[in-house]
Amino acid sequence: MDNYYTLFVRDEETGTFHDEFGDYTRAAVKEEADCTYWDRKKADLKIINTGGTTARLISAGQKLNKLEDETCL
């Protein structure tokens, strides 16, 4: 599975990203983001190709949250 896209959404209370939705097409994930999170800032939504593996999903979440921690310093 090379292409599996995951929508990560920043939690408004904690500021951390979490995985919210996934699909084999980026278009489906973008549609979910547009319909469900239409009122959120673009910076609060990230679509990442996680390849359909748990390891890549966890790694992507950790990288997103680490990047956020570093930019807050």
Cβ(5)–Cβ(22) under 8 Å?
yes
How do beta strands 5-10 and 17-23 pair?
antiparallel
Q: Nearest to residue 50, comparing CAs of 34, 39, 64, 70?
A: 64
How would residue 68 be classed by pLDDT, with cut points 50, 70 and 90?
low
Q: What is the pLDDT of residue 73?
A: 42
| pLDDT per position as a tens digit, 20-59 | 999 999 999 999 999 999 999 999 999 999 998 999 999 9
pTM reported for the whole predicted model = 0.86
- The structure tokens listed for 23 are 């699909």
Cα 73 to Cα 71: distance, rounded to the nearest angstrom: 5
Q: What is the pLDDT of residue 47?
A: 97
Name the residue with higher pLDDT: 10 or 1. Answer: 10
